[in-house]
Each structure stands twice: as structure tokens, then as C-alpha cells.
Chains A and B, each alone.
Chain A
Amino acid sequence: MSNYGIKIAKSGHAISEADQYMILTSKFPFMKAKSQGSLSVSVTGPGTFSATVTHSLGYHPAFIHYSIIDPVSTSDRYMARWEAWTQYAIGVDSYATTSILRIGWEDTSPSPGSFATYPYTAYFYYYLFYDSLT
């Protein structure tokens, strides 16, 4: 029996249709969230500022995060963002080790800042998954 499992089709579609029209199919796995939360760093001037989440997985887990700053120059929330404005870099450098998730915010703009006026706070909203990268 090669075709078995659970399928739920999108409204207006049948489960006999292609996978892309399924809300759920057990043919494919889900990413499993271990934790979610928020972090913040105070960006006081040009430099790199970081925050970490400790996990006890013992391997490199997958993750995703979004960023927002306050005072808000825009209401957008950014996925891993990296930009170069003329000669200054504004970006997020995030990575996972076997014990932590580190999210770093870099702004090399001279005072008073080009992305936002110093000081400002960068907030990070993250999901950490059980799924291993290795």
C-alpha cells in the first residue's frame, strides 16, 4: 500500500489533487517548535549587540526569528535582515550552536544613526525547533 496517511484539502479542492492544494498531508513532516519567545538589545551607538537563548538539545537546531525596533521607524517586522546603506551596514547576524541561539544586531552607522536614532531597542521574536541542522 503505497498511498496512505492523512490528508486535508483546501476549501474547493479534493484530496486527490496535488500536494500543494492540501492544508495538511502526513506525507511531509512538520517542523516541531521547542520554544518561542522574545529577546531585546539596547543599541546605544555604533556596534554589535547580541542576545542569546540557551537550549539543552546538544545539537544545532533550526530556528527562525523576526526583528522590530523601538522607537519604531517602521512597523515592519523583519526576517533576518542585512542591508548596506552607502558605507554603513545594518543587519542581523544570528546563529545556533549546540547550546545556544544567538541573535546579533549590528549597526555601524555613526551617531545619530541612519536606521534609527540612538539609543533604540531591537526586539527579536524567535521560534526554536527540535529539528536538527546536522
Chain B
Amino acid sequence: MGNYGAKISRPGYDVKTCSNTQLIFSSAFETMNVAVAGTSSKTNSSGSNADINFTITHGLSFAPYILMFYKLSSSSSYWNIHPGGPYFLSDDGNHANAHHIEVTSSNVVVKFFYMPDGETIDIKYYIFNVSL
């Protein structure tokens, strides 16, 4: 028995003959279940530019895939996708507007560097039940 499992096709497609991209679900492939989702918010009240870190304890036993969004109070109607990746230095050597994510088997740490005084950062995160 070489073809077994569960499949659900998109409307208008025959589940027996359609391509993988025309499926909503196939048990042949790993799915991106959301294991943990949540929000958090912090404000820089230090009186000067400062780094703001968020630490999310995910409770999984592996380093997971994540999807992260953030909103700055200075751009109150915009939710940006977090670029991840390493931070960079601006011309004056500051971590201006730089963001950084670290993922371990216990935590996700989100770092916002050199945030202006009074800036509030809201984050929304999706942590998937898929190991890196």
C-alpha cells in the first residue's frame, strides 16, 4: 500500500488527482501547527535611548520555528513583520532601529536596540510545533 493517509483538497480540485499545492492538507507533509501564540508590550521609560528585550518561555523541548510581528507606538497603526536576522550598526555606531531574535530550546528572545525614550513596543508571536 504505497498511497495512504489523509488529504483535503481546495474547492474545485479532486483530492485524488490534484497537485500538492492544490491541497489544503496532506498527512504526507509536516504542518505548521501553532504551539504557542501570544502578545507582550514594553515601554522604554529610562529617560534616554535604551535596548528593550522580550523573553518568551515557550515550554517546548526544541528550538522552534517562529513568526514575529511588532508595533511601535511611534507608528501606531502599523504592525511590521519582524525581520529576524542579526542586527546592524548605523553610521554613527548605534544599533538604530535594529532588531534581533534568538531562539533556543527553552526561550525566544526578541531584542530591540536603541529604542527612543517613551517608545512602546507591542509584539505578537507565533511559535510553531516544528523544530529548527
Contact = CB atoms under 8 A, between A and B. Distances in A.
A73 to B, nearest CB: 18
Contacts of A133: 69, 71, 79, 124
Contact of A60 (B27, B29, B31, B79): B79
A28 B36 CA distance: 8
B81 A63 contact: yes
Contact of B84 (A8, A30, A80, A97): A80
Interface residues of B: mostly helix, strand, loop or mixed? loop
A53 interface: no
The size bracket of the interface on A is 35 or more
Interface string B1-31: 0000110000000000000000001010111
Contact of B91 (A31, A87, A91): A87
Interface in A8-22: 8, 10, 18-20, 22
Contact of B32 (A10, A31, A83): A31
Interface residues of A: mostly helix, strand, loop or mixed? strand
B89 A62 contact: no
Interface of B: 5-6, 25, 27, 29-35, 37, 60-62, 67, 69, 71, 75, 77-85, 88-91, 124, 126, 129-131
15 contacts: A8-B5, A19-B35, A20-B60, A22-B33, A23-B31, A24-B27, A24-B33, A30-B32, A64-B81, A84-B89, A95-B75, A95-B81, A98-B77, A133-B79, A133-B124
